[in-house]
Amino acid sequence: MQSKKLAGNKPSVSTQKYLDIAEIKEDCVILKDGTLRVVLLASSLNFALKSEDEQNATIQAYVVFLNSLTFPIQIVIQSRKLNIDDYVEKLRKAEKEQTNELLRMQIADYRQYIKELVEMGEIMTKRFYVVVPYSSVEAGVKGFFTKLIEAFIPASVITLQKERFQKYRREIFQRVDHIVTGLYSIGLNVVVLDTQSLIELFYNTYNPTVAAQQKLVDVGKLRVGE
């Protein structure tokens, strides 16, 4: 009886054990196999509204960009339900501070209308990400014994040495600069997701229900690697 009771109190295995991410630091995602990823957020453009000449120019620029790549990239399109919590809260604050009764009522009606519109319409937003990889294999092939040792060491405790990480980081950000320049020539604006944004991205991706109810704290209050 006692052993069953104790067994029932054992903590369940964290889902983090099954993720490929070892840590996130200095705007990079470090995977458990020692490879790095940098994630870029790209803007969109309305291709249909462009003239035929502009469409052809855009296609040609995209072809040139793809042909210039000497490494693989991943393009991810993520759809999310539109979150207007911050906007609604801003309206609620303006409503409380409004001294004119008529304007206050109009703000309240508008706030309620916007909230119901989004909830009933299931309005979705799309975000476009470009994932840039860098593998340690590209910096030199590992020996047999190195691979054998790493196979028996838990991946969660394998971390890149600082000097090696900085070297890999310089290499991957050279690729990032190339991607940014290439996409800019197409007419897209691109930003590199920083550490805080990366944590929020994966937090929202793997915990969509929880993320909608519980916001992630600032990265300064999180332990994301030394």
Range of the domain at 62: 19-79+129-221
In a domain, 11, yes or no: no
196 and 155 share one domain: yes
Check residue 119 and give its pLDDT: 73
Mean pLDDT (10-residue bins), the chain, 226 residues: 49 65 90 91 90 93 93 90 80 88 89 80 82 77 51 49 86 94 92 92 78 54 42
Check residue 62 and give its pLDDT: 93
User: Within 98-155, where are the H helices?
Assistant: 101-121, 144-152
Check residue 210 and give its pLDDT: 63
CB-neighbour burial class of residue 203 (10 A; exposed 0-12, middle 13-18, buried 19+): middle
Check residue 225 and give its pLDDT: 40
67 and 118 share one domain: no
147 and 216 share one domain: yes
The candidate with the shortest Cα–Cα distance to 195, out of 59, 22, 23, 73, is: 23
Judge contact between 50 and 137, C-beta under 8 A.
no
Say whether 122 sits in a helix, a strand or coil: coil
Check residue 213 and give its pLDDT: 55
Counted domains in the chain: 2
Residue 106: C-alpha distances to residues 8, 118, 153 (Å): 55, 18, 63
74 and 106 share one domain: no
CA end-to-end span of the chain, whole Å? 44
Show the CA angle centred on residue 52, arms to residues 47 and 53, nearest 5°.
105
Element containing residue 40 per DSSP (H, E): strand 36-42
